[in-house]
Structure 1
Amino acid sequence: MRTLTLVRRVAPLILLLVVLAVLTVRAAEQLDNQDTYFHLRFGHELLGEWSLRDPGSVSSFATADWVPTQWLPQITMAAVEDRAGLAGVAWLSGLAFLALALTLYVVARRRVEPLAAAPLTALALVASSSGLSARPQVLSYLLVAVTATAWLAAARSGRTPWWLVPLTWVWACCHGMWPVGLAIGGVAVLATALRPDRRWDRVARGAAVVALSGLATLVTPVGPRLLGAVVAVDERREFFSEWGRPDPGDPRLLALLALLLVAAAALAWRGTDGPRGPRTLRGLRESPDLTALGLLVLAGGCTVASGRTVPVAAALLVPVAATALHRHLGDRPAWTRLEQVVVLGGVALALPVLAAVVPHTADEPPARPAWTDPALAALPAGTPVLNDWNLGGWLMWRHPQLDPVMHGYGDTFTVEELRRNTDILALRPGWRTLVRETGVSYALVRPRSPLGRALVDDEGWRVLHRSPDLVLLKPPPGWM
């Protein structure tokens, strides 16, 4: 019995330490997500002359009337880069990863013991791993878990979570997924209204929190146009693969499926009466938690909606699954001194270790051919360059004097401009005319991409510099 008790207390803490170690190693890697670099460029522009309500554009080929939806972390990232370089950005990313892990564990631990909380945390982080990079969206995953926990707690206690109003204001300054928080609140209010023992004053207060949270997003420094920026994302989703349906073959979805099954089974199982009468485990004969059930449905919707919302589903499911399991496991045991030391000490140790490592592992962007920087730096300021889409973030960060045709920050492009970009890359009918209309002087593309092969083999563009993964081209006389 003593051995089982020791395993029950120590095994989940070992698992949590492994999770923290994996996240630390991941954060110490090179910043290879291209989106990181356009966030850094925008952050530097916002620290400079750009206005939050009327920003400029880093490309003359992106002319949409847009406003920043992630300005606060972008400015923070740029300020850290100014002082500590890319290594500092990598450390900041690691801080976000560890904060997410700690939040998920604490959220689960509020309702269940470590033996359940640690696996729930690990599963959620595996399911979310596609979205764990040096980007502001990690903050949204954290805030999804916090918001869901707040509404689940309100359903139990009857207390109104007014503090979610200022939290939503901060969220709206950090990332464009803040409407998920309003959706969570709406589901919770609806669940309260459907309870047999409903109290309409509680319903009204909950609805007021949701309404005030929505109004709070309209009074950020960006102003009311923030709402239009979020709505406009929907008309651009066809151009970005992460907004497409999740890949059923992605093994990370197994972790999300496990979370879904645990939460659904725990909510559905109410027990049965045996020959000696009702089962005695606490909570088996309680009515279903309608708030948890509603959030489970919302998480299911996020699971199938897009690849981008899979991590949102994972963050939602941790508090839902913990709440559902609590009905069967009973009251959680109090935090032990060992647990506090391991959890908080693990995070406290990981951060200085990461700070010592990243200057050696993440101080430079992914390697480019040796000719790239000198050749591009020699081009006159304002030179229009046709580029592969996934080179745009790095190009606009590394060589801000150039004028790239495309990059990954879709808000700055009109729908027509995004369609132009995809038509060029896919060599759809009329792509030559579209390239000529850009008036570009050079092309920086992948030599084995359809566009790279077509420009060199079919159109006769001259190769100025070439390497296995990158080529700089110039159109032949008269081609434009």
Structure 2
Amino acid sequence: MSGADPQTAIHDTELDVQRSSGMVRWAPLVAFGVLLLGLARHAGSGISDPDTLWHVLAGDHLWDSHQFAGPDPLSRFTVEPWVLNQWLPELGMALANHLGGLAAVSWVTHVARVGVCLVIFVACRSVAGPLAAAFVASAAVLGTADSLSPRPQLVGFLLLGVVVLAWLRTAGDGRTRWWLVAVMWLWACCHGTWVAGVTVGAAVVVGLALDGRVSRRHLIRLGSVVAAGALVTAVTPLGPRLYESFATVRAVSPYILEWRLPTLTSPSVVVTLGLALAVPLLWWVARRRPDRVQLLLWLVGVGWGASSMRTVAIGAIILAPLAAQALDTALRRPRTVTTRSEAAVVAGAAVLSIALAAILAVGGPSDPQKVPAALDTTLSSLPAGTVVWNSDLLGGWLMWSHPDLAHTSDTRAELYGPAKARDYLTVIDARPGWEDPFDSVHPAAALVEERSGLATALQSRGWSVSGRDAGYVLLLRG
């Protein structure tokens, strides 16, 4: 040992440092790429979300009628006008189904899902190094997992990530990004989450004002971007009718599970809560006082994440770059510039994930999943116009597979109104007084969960079991 060459020892140490630095830089990116590849498996599982089918039908209706609002063409029992406030993705879903069936819808969904993941990563990477960015972006993807279903909201999440990234860059360079107004118009054509974009922009502008980092004249320009982005939502093809859906959804929200307060039984809620708590904790560890922009964005993210199960994903997306930057600061790692090699790794994983999803989607089921398809023959034998009192989770499938039957409910609860929402819960659980709202629609059949209170109550009234499948039972009036 005493004869060892000091220069050789130094060289070996430098190699170890380089290897360690390389691992820190590339391992998180590879892990994020593996996450993208893992998500592809969902494309091979078919369509099982109860909303997807009626979204496709909505797109078909719009292609044929060119009507963005009006009476509901899919159910005779709705009482509110149908306002197609998600019309642009619905047109896309209908087109995908026309070209390639539900397999194409499943694949397009995955493309949007990958887009959400990428924009979260880019937002994190814009303020943090690869280690913190990849780790936090992966966590944020888990925070959105409950909502990454085949619905137009995926487009809303993608545009939210774009808006968060743009406003973070504005907070850093002070540039007035007028193109955000066009993004807000596009967003208003896709999903009601556009409201979150307004709150993000307002938080950044107010934070810059409180920090005194820009002139009053510049603040007016930035504030104009936020105001114009909010106002431009009134000039979509729906016009002011776009805002009707907010009132109708709010009226029935107490009866919709997705609008209940977040619960810790959901992994997405736990992860998003972890992101929310990690940000101030990491600020404290790093002994760094956040500026007002960061603090207000944190409050906005926490507010959205805590509002309801439906908005947990919004909170995760807003909180992600804040958590990544705070983690990077706490680790005391300099934020390196994104290299072409780094971008190639992430982009390559995304392309591979999309290609794998295409293969899995083509080889996967082409019919709706988690529905009682074994009962198709019996349902098809019922006379046209037969009223079927059904679980709302099967409403989309019934209007898709059996449009000649009259289903009584579906997941578009806002169209049925709060009174019918209350009646539905009363009937499905066979609570006292369930007979009147049930008999008022004169059903000749019922298709409900096998273990529901209604299934038991109907059998006690003499209704006969015609068949069972996928946890549901079809009952016919005796």
Contact 1:384 1:404 in 2 (8 A): yes
Q: Percent identity?
A: 34
Tell me the SS of whatever aligns to 1:224: helix
Distance apart, 1:327 and its partner CA: 5.2
Residue 292 of structure 2 aligns with an amino acid whose one-letter code is L
Q: Does 1:137 align with 2:140?
A: no
Instruction: For 1:151 and 1:227, locate their aligned partners in 2 and report how far apart those are by CA, in whole Å.
Output: 25
Match of 1:120 among 117, 136, 139: 136
> Which is worse superposed, 154-163 or 128-137?
154-163
Does residue 349 of the first structure (1) align with residue 365 of the second (2)? no
Q: Secondary structure of the equivalent of 1:395?
A: helix
- Please report how far the alpha carbon of residue 155 of structure 1 lies from its aligned counterpart in structure 2 after TM superposition: 1.8
Specify which of 90, 101, 105 is matched with residue 74 of structure 1. 90
The equivalences for 1:205-220 within 5 A come to 205-220=221-236
Counterpart Cα distance in 1 of 2:415 and 2:247: 14
Q: Which amino acid aligns with 2:119?
A: T
Q: In structure 1, what is the equivalent of residue 446 of structure 2?
A: 443
Q: Where does structure 1 differ by over 6 angstroms across 4 or more consecutive aligned residues?
A: none
CA positional deviation for 1:292: 1.4
2-structure distance, mates of 1:226, 1:250? 31
Listed as ranges, the matches of 1:239-250 within 5 Å are 239-250=255-266
The reply on whether 1:332 has 2:335 as its aligned counterpart is: yes
Q: Does residue 372 of the first structure (1) align with residue 375 of the second (2)? A: yes
Q: Equivalents in 2 of 1:440, 1:50: separation in Å?
A: 33
Of the three residues 76, 93, 98, the one matched with 1:60 is: 76
Q: Tell me if 1:303 matches 2:305.
A: yes
Aligned residue type for 2:311: T
In structure 2, how many angstroms separate the alpha carbons of the residues matched to 1:8 and 1:135?
A: 36
Is the contact made by 1:80 and 1:88 (CA closer than 8 Å) also made in structure 2? yes
1:386 aligned counterpart, secondary structure: strand
Tell me the distance in 1 between the aligned counterparts of 2:285 and 2:220.
Answer: 31
The yes-or-no answer on 1:42 pairing with 2:64 is no
For 2:66 and 2:52, the matched residues in 1 are separated by: 19
Q: 1:362 to 1:338 in 2, by over 3 A?
A: farther
Q: What TM-score results when the alignment is normalised by the length of structure 2?
A: 0.91
The residue that corresponds to 1:313 in the other structure is: 315
1:408 to 388, 391, 411: 411
- Secondary structure in 1 matching 2:388: strand
Alpha-carbon spacing, 1:439–1:447, altered in 2? closer, same or farther (3 Å) = same
Residues 380, 402 of structure 2: 8 Å contact kept: yes
Correspondence 1:82-101 to 2 at 5 A: 82-101=98-117
Counterpart of 2:192 in 1: which secondary structure?
Answer: coil
Give the counterpart of 2:432 among 410, 429, 443.
429
Cα offsets for 1:313-334 (capped at 9, x unmatched):
1100112223445656565322
Query: What's the counterpart of residue 294 of structure 1?
Result: 296
Using the TM superposition, give the Cα deviation of residue 414 of structure 1 relative to its aligned residue in structure 2, in angstroms. Answer: 1.9
Q: Deviation of residue 89 (structure 1)?
A: 0.7
Q: Is the 8 A contact 2:264 2:270 kept in 1?
A: no
TM superposition shift of 1:197: 4.3
Instruction: Provide the C-alpha distance between the structure 1 equivalents of 2:375 and 2:177, rounded to a whole number of angstroms.
Output: 53
Specify every segment of 5 or more residues in structure 1 that has no aligned partner in the other structure, as ranges.
272-283
Other-structure match for 1:276: none
Match of 2:400 among 397, 404, 407: 397
Amino acid at match of 1:47: W
Deviations 1:290-328 (A, max 9, x none): 111101011111222111111111100112223445656
The aligned counterpart of 1:474 is: 476
Q: CA RMSD in A?
A: 2.0
Displacement after TM superposition at 1:150 (Å): 1.7
- Counterpart in 1 of 2:120? 104
Cα deviation digits, residues 10-54 of structure 1 (max 9, x gap): 211221121111211123222221111221222222222261032
Distance (whole Å) between structure 2 residues aligned to residue 210 and residue 226 of structure 1: 18
Contact 1:13–1:343 (8 Å) recurs in 2 = yes
Q: Alpha-carbon deviation of 1:255?
A: 2.1
Comparing 74-83 with 316-325, greater Cα deviation is found at 316-325
SS in 1 for 2:440: helix
C-alpha displacement at 1:468, in angstroms? 6.9
CA deviation map 1:378-432 (0-9, x unaligned): 2233222100121112111221222110000123222222222222112233211
CA offsets per residue over residues 267-298 of structure 1, 9 Å max, x none?
A: 44563xxxxxxxxxxxx5xx632111101011
Q: Give CA-to-partner distance per residue, 1:199-220, whole Å, 9 cap, x none.
A: 2222212221121111111110
Q: Is the 8 A contact 1:145 1:319 kept in 2?
A: no
In the aligned structure 2, how far is the partner of 1:410 from the partner of 1:460?
A: 30
CA drift at 1:376: 1.7
Letter in 2 for 1:220: T
Q: 2:11 — aligned with what?
A: none
Asked if the contact 1:53/1:222 (under 8 Å) is kept, the reply is yes
2:456 to 434, 438, 453: 453
8 A Cα contact 1:66 1:411, kept in partner: no
Task: Compare 374-383 and 462-471 and name the one that shifted more.
Answer: 462-471
Amino acid across the alignment from 2:453: P
Matched positions, count: 461
Given the superposition, is the C-alpha separation of residues 370 and 147 from structure 1 closer, same or farther in structure 2, using an over 3 Å criterion?
closer
Matched with 1:185 is: 201
Tell me the amino acid that sits aligned with residue 94 of structure 1.
Answer: H
Paired with 1:78 and 1:232, the residues of 2 have a C-alpha distance of 25
Deviates more, 1:33-42 or 1:72-81: 33-42
| Counterpart amino acid of residue 300 in structure 1 | V
8 Å Cα contact 1:267/1:289 also seen in 2: no
Q: Identify the residue that residue 17 of structure 1 maps to in structure 2.
A: 33
Per-residue deviation, residues 82-103 of structure 1 (Å, max 9, x unmatched):
1101110110111011111111
| Cα deviation code 1:125-173 (max 9, x no counterpart) | 1111111111111222222222122222212211122111110111111
Q: Structure 1 length as normaliser, TM-score?
A: 0.91
Shift in CA distance, 15/68, structure 1 to aligned 2, threshold 3 Å: same
- Which digits, 9 at most, give the CA deviation of each residue in 1:193-247, with x for residues without a partner? 2124452222212221121111111110111111121233222111111110111
Q: Secondary structure at the match of 1:16?
A: helix
User: Of residues 271, 289, 300 in structure 2, which corresponds to 1:255?
Assistant: 271
Query: For 1:161, what is the secondary structure of its paired residue?
Result: coil
Cα gap change, 1:291 to 1:237, in 2 (>3 Å): same
Residue of structure 1 in register with 2:167 after alignment: 151
Structure-2 change in CA distance of 1:450 and 1:166 (3 Å): same
